Amino acid sequence: DVKVTQSSRYLVKRTGEKVFLECVQDMDHENMFWYRQDPGLGLRLIYFSYDVKMKEKGDIPEGYSVSREKKERFSLILESASTNQTSMYLCASRAGTVTYEQYFGPGTRLTVT
């Protein structure tokens, strides 16, 4: 079974803090994704990576950066957390092309106060 794990289920941070969200997958997938999910807005893609050290902006990259130094790990970084980044963050991974399914982690509920 593919397993995608995220470092925290719940996280509370203060405005202005630098926040790291970690995602690890154990199936050697080339592609990894970071989404945020907000009520009424659905899943929105923040960044994705199709190979080590390769990244591409999604639909809402502002205020975020990512790092992929190893194939199994994809980190989302909030450089200076703001209250409008309070959300559920989901990591996913996928083998091969878009005809393959995505596997999701359990999500991190981030609250910025």
Partner 1 sequence: ILNVEQSPQSLHVQEGDSTNFTCSFPSSNFYALHWYRWETAKSPEALFVMTLNGDEKKKGRISATLNTKEGYSYLYIKGSQPEDSATYLCALNAGNNRKLIWGLGTSLAVNP
Contact positions vs partner 1 (CB under 8 A) = 4, 31, 40-45, 48, 50, 56, 58, 90, 97-107
CB of 90: closest distance to partner 1 in angstroms?
Answer: 7
Closest to partner 1 by CB, 56 vs 79, is 56
CB of 38: closest distance to partner 1 in angstroms?
Answer: 11
Contacts of 5 (CB under 8 A, 6+ apart): 23, 24, 25, 105, 106
CB of 64: closest distance to partner 1 in angstroms?
Answer: 16
Of the candidates 69, 59, 71, the one whose C-alpha atom is nearest the C-alpha of residue 20 is: 69
Q: Name the percent of the chain in helix, strand, coil, to the closest 5.
A: 5, 55, 40
Closest to partner 1 by CB, 44 vs 73, is 44
Closest to partner 1 by CB, 81 vs 105, is 105
CA dihedral 43, 47, 50, 51 (to 10 degrees): -140
CB of 14: closest distance to partner 1 in angstroms?
Answer: 26
